[in-house]
Structure 1
Amino acid sequence: MNIIYTVCNRTNLAHALALADSVLQHQPESAFYIGLVDSLSIEKLPEHVKLLPVSELAIPEFDRMAADYYDFELLPATRPWFALGLLKKHPECRQLSFLSPTVLLKSPIDSLLDAGAEMFLTPNLSAPLKESAILDDKRILNAGMYHSGSWILRPGEKTIAALEWWAHRTIDRAYFDLCNGMNTDQLWLNYMPVWVPASKTLHNPGWHYGLNAVLNKNLIGQNDTYEVDGQPLVSLDFAGLGYFDPIWSDHAPLVTENKAFQALFMQYQRIVIRKKQELEIGGEPAFGKYANILPNRLMRKGIAARLKELTNYIDQF
């Protein structure tokens, strides 16, 4: 049994359902789970989607996590806990894949996976980063070597031990706080090759094309067929586009660097809007501190930049 799962709340449930449809199309033999970090009762869930509420996981100190984390921090903090919960629920699982709600499959995954590897990681970069005023090497180092929006593992002694180690660190060390060495769940992925020596980095150019890739990889499309550097497009990630992402929303203007990616994002937005209309769900997420960040983000960043200019001027004297 193979399982693909994502983690969301009401804010990005429509995105998760768009992902579910793409999984049904390209990985129909895989079971698909939504890990729900919310208190919703969803009546119109499609037959190909299974639901696992966070209340069924018995995460240690979850009440504390929900009180301390913002909702956009709490979601990634629960990802390894959902992985452990799914493996406990399905001990027959042979391959567990995590895809963030903003991911969309465009081709099957299995052809990318080596039989001898136990874990597959997604690099933020597969080549030296081209110069850009929007994204630079330091920002990638802050984000981490690997993208937490896509990873795959084969359950075994080492991978389960790695999940448990990772999960317990997200209880109190998954804040978006770069100055104190935290970046939600993501920086812990840097250690995965230590825990799982049989890890493989997926450098296929068609895998996980998003804002992290537009400067270095060329996506082209014709007649609804897409290639990245001569390889078929396997998956897209629209993180940072459409709703707030603590890492990638800063780099959203990069979407204009590739016209095919921009067009695919516009198609994706129409799918998500339709899903939201079908769901008819409003309100704030039930767990985690709610912050309506996106509308005033650019204004705040502008004020912060001016203040930094002032403090730098003062430092000269």
Structure 2
Amino acid sequence: MTTLLLTICTIRQLPGALALGNSFSHYSTNLIDKPLVLIGLADDPENLPAGFVSPYPLLPIHELLSPAQLAALSSAYTPTEFAAACKPLFIAELFRRYSTVDKVLYAAPTIQFLGSLSPVLGQLATANTILTPFITGNPGDSCWPDEKFFQNIGLYSSDFMAFKRSPETDRLLAWWDDRVRERAYINFCEGLCLDQLWLMHVPVFFQNVVVIRNPGWHIALWNLPERSMRQAGNEWLVTTKDAKDQPVQFVNFKGLANPDEGFFPYQNRLQISDRADIRQLLINYRQALAIHKALVVETSRPAYGKQPEPVVLRGWRYTILQSLQGITRFLDRVHIPSLH
């Protein structure tokens, strides 16, 4: 039996997916059963650059959905929502397709592994499912995002999850797929946020779900204010406010390398330029991406997800938008008497 790492990406995100696969392979060399890496392609492989050869197998979404299903999902969603709607389907397909795989790790293409996989796989010895929370403590300030915002997007990040083959996992994936296939929109007013918001129910609805609070797991933009990092030889360590060092397992660079990515383009709790402790990490990550960037066209639009992605506004445009939204909220609260 073996472990498989899955990531899901568009053609434009392939550099990150390949860099993720390389980091995963590097830190699994000490394992007896060498884990596999597979890329779920939420895009049309016909649009791959001429001569492109992936070092890892590609599983295109058109192999999992009928043409009619594919067209319906694509027309309803943005590319981000489309990929989220297909995530449980990809994970369940791996368990079905590869009978020797007993553990599936999912990681977003913005993640890099920086430590041994043994702690992750060790948790799956007894757990069916592993989740990582966005934050592990009260921010304790008035900055944004606050706790309330996490109630809109979810308590657990769907950028990393791990699953063990079991009937309970099959039940979870079937439930999750049923929820997200047609309800993976980002629509906070409707209580929807990709595949992620649904994860809040998982520790309640399903057995043997482990929530990892170890600060060395899933370091990211949203929890870096709780943590500081340092390099000790070839190892990265993270220190929390209680001054206890922990080895770093993996880092999510979403929003760190590109501030327009993810849910926090307007966060004001972390000033990245002030964090000298992550400067080398960012350099290393950009170098890992650069190795593969010549392979794809970054400006190519994904084939699936026909709805436009939201535009991140900055400067005066964002200020005007906030003002207009404030006026709208005010008018919604004001009673306007009838003219009749």
Q: TM-score, normalised by structure 2?
A: 0.85
Q: Which amino acid aligns with 2:250?
A: S
Pick from 218, 222, 225: which aligns with 1:208? 218
Structure 1 partner of 2:27: 26
Residue identity (%): 25
SS at match of 1:96: strand
Structure 1 partner of 2:102: 94
Pick from 247, 271, 282: which aligns with 1:265? 282
- Determine if contact 2:129/2:163 at 8 Å carries over to the other structure: yes
- Determine if contact 1:39/1:286 at 8 Å carries over to the other structure: yes
Quote the RMSD (CA, aligned, Å): 2.4
Q: Which has the larger radius of gyration?
A: 2
CA distance in 2, matches of 1:155, 1:119: 10
- Determine if contact 1:72/1:246 at 8 Å carries over to the other structure: no
SS at match of 2:219: coil
CA distance in 1, matches of 2:315, 2:88: 32
SS at match of 2:227: coil
Q: 1:252 to 1:156 in 2, by over 3 A?
A: farther
> Alpha-carbon deviation of 1:144?
0.9
Structure 2 partner of 1:5: 6
> Alpha-carbon deviation of 1:294?
5.1
> Alpha-carbon deviation of 1:69?
0.2
Structure 2 partner of 1:126: 136
Q: 1:224 to 1:55 in 2, by over 3 A?
A: same
> Alpha-carbon deviation of 1:68?
0.7
Structure 1 partner of 2:164: 154
> Alpha-carbon deviation of 1:249?
3.2
Q: Which sections of structure 1, spanning at least 5 residues, go unmatched?
A: none
2:271 corresponds to 1:245: no
- Determine if contact 2:183/2:194 at 8 Å carries over to the other structure: yes
Q: Which amino acid aligns with 1:68?
A: A
> Alpha-carbon deviation of 1:117?
1.3
2:85 corresponds to 1:77: yes
> Alpha-carbon deviation of 1:224?
5.0
Q: Which sections of structure 2, spanning at least 5 residues, go unmatched?
A: 240-244, 336-340
2:236 corresponds to 1:236: no
> Alpha-carbon deviation of 1:118?
1.2
- 1:253-286: CA deviations, max 9, x gaps? 7351633224422431233233111335652111
Q: Which moved more, 1:51-60 or 1:272-281?
A: 272-281
CA distance in 2, matches of 1:22, 1:79: 21
Q: Which amino acid aligns with 1:82?
A: F
How many residue pairs match? The answer is 316
- 1:39-94: CA deviations, max 9, x gaps? 134543343x1110101112683321110100111111111110011111112211
